[in-house]
Chain A
Amino acid sequence: MYRGREGQWAFVLHRVTGVAVALFLLLHVIDISLVMFGPEGPFEAFLVFYHNWPFRIGLIMVIAAVVYHGLNGLRIILMDFTTWGVRYQKHMWYGVLGLTTIIGIPVLLKVVPEILRGA
């Protein structure tokens, strides 16, 4: 493993979250489209299935991935289009991680109790 620093990990995370969100979107399009078989059909079965705790954890991760990918995208835009962005790329990356965590807290507060309650 090359011992890169912040920039390398920002790039790796951006790629991983990008692929993850794209795959999730594909799955989402498929399961939503199952509604054409009627409200009681496979669509409903999928919704129930998604309430299992591994998918709840997956939900937290998908939200984190979307938020990280979006915020880091803004960081990249600032690096591309301002003269100062590159100089502050490390600061901005820590900002992205911090904001992703802060935005994730309400998600955790909502979803984690649901998992524990088995709801």
Chain B
Amino acid sequence: MQITVKIKRFDPEADTRPRWVEYQLDVDPTERVLDVINHIKWELDGSLAFRRSCAHGICGSDAMLINGVNRLACKVLVQDLGNRITVEPIRGLEVKKDLIVDMEPFFDSYRAVLPYFINDEPPPPTERLQSPEERAVFDETTKCILCAACTTSCPVFWTNGSYVGPASIVNAHRFIFDSRDRGTLERLEVLNQSNGLWRCRTAYNCTEACPRDIPVTQAIEEVRRAMLFRG
């Protein structure tokens, strides 16, 4: 299958602004976009820069804006896109080179919501037991791989880079609704600030973009209600 791939490239040492570069190549329809850009890097243009690691949708390093939507390059097949493919870096984060963006602001917001288990009570002699029902409450939000596809699809985040963003709220949700955790008040404190979860305008781009099918907007609304109705 003959395809044309248009990539938005940027070399900080040579370019003042990003430029589009087109590549023609012959690929199998069942190949993934990641395979395609690997072909380009290995056979056509070794200077192309992008991140990838696992190649199986679990490390979260290759979120890209593919044909106008955020996806993992390793999870989308050429046959589902047709013979014209455009690839851009995800939006709202500074482009370092080609498809590589500076993820630090994203991880800063992630760290800000204390995404780890907090409980100062003395450990019980056995495990901290949790019923299957209690576990089910936050099951979806345990699936996040921190690829940033959601946060960088959010119109609010594009215009305000200090918005904490859907990914952080999802990870706060994962612990706020964990029956064993005791850090809820501290996390809600962080999320209640002016760049916190009230910034969400329910555009649902995050929910559509999540490669793990996490109901992101639903999680945001659940945390909001927890904030409103906490005792």
Question: Which residues does A use to contact B, with CB under 8 Å?
Answer: 1-8, 10-12, 14-15, 76, 79-81, 85-87, 89
Contacts and interface: CB of A to CB of B under 8 A. Distances in A.
B202 A5 contact: no
A3 B203 CA distance: 12
19 contacts: A1-B68, A2-B69, A2-B155, A4-B153, A4-B203, A5-B208, A7-B204, A8-B155, A8-B204, A10-B203, A11-B203, A76-B202, A79-B217, A79-B221, A80-B224, A81-B225, A86-B218, A89-B202, A89-B217
A79 B91 contact: no
Contact of A2 (B91, B202, B221, B225): B91
A85 B65 CA distance: 28
Nearest to B69: A3
* A-B complex: 3 closest residue pairs judged by Cβ atoms: A7-B204, A3-B68, A11-B203
A3 B225 CA distance: 29
Interface string B118-134: 00000000000000000
A7 B205 contact: yes
Interface residues of B, number: 20
B184 interface: no
Contacts, number: 61
A11 B221 contact: no
Given A1-B68, A86-B215, A86-B217, A8 B225 contact: no
A46 B4 CA distance: 57
B68 A8 contact: no
B171 interface: no
Q: Which of A14, A15, A79, A86 has the most CB of B within 10 A?
A: A86
A6 B204 contact: yes
A79 B202 contact: yes
A5 B153 contact: no
B201 interface: yes
A2 B155 CA distance: 9
B68 A7 contact: no
B4 to A, nearest CB: 18
Nearest to B203: A11
Contact of A11 (B153, B155, B224): B155
Nearest to B68: A3
B151 interface: no
